[in-house]
Amino acid sequence: MKIYKPQKLKNLNWAQAKVRFPNMKPLGDADNDGVKNKFDCKPFNKKRQGIFHKGQGVLDDLSVGFGDIKKLKTVGDVQRLEESILKKEEKD
């Protein structure tokens, strides 16, 4: 029989933290690292931010609006859009 041992706070990801602390705000910043809890890899660990924290404004540069999606007609259009996003990401 395996004994249950709760994880340390620093090791919790967002989904686990939300279960343990249901009143935790997704747009708050529990560890004050500048990344919202919902997008933070480990919301209670200041040293681990996750993929969304590569620099300020990265999400704004990589976001795709509805107008861009509406213009996509073929698979080739989607591939070109993905390639342009990856190129922007590599520059950062």
Residue 2 belongs to some domain of the structure:
no
The predicted model scores a pTM of 0.49
Residue 43 belongs to some domain of the structure:
yes
Domain, as residue range, for 24: 7-53
Residue with tokens 């343990």: 20
Residue pair 49/41 in contact (Cβ under 8 Å)? The answer is: yes
Residue 1 belongs to some domain of the structure:
no
Q: What is the pLDDT of residue 65?
A: 67
CA pseudo-torsion sign 26, 29, 30, 35: positive
pLDDT in tens, the chain (92 residues): 788 888 888 888 888 999 999 999 988 888 888 888 888 888 888 887 766 555 544 455 556 666 777 777 888 888 888 888 777 766 65
Same domain, 47 and 68: no
Residue 80 belongs to some domain of the structure:
yes
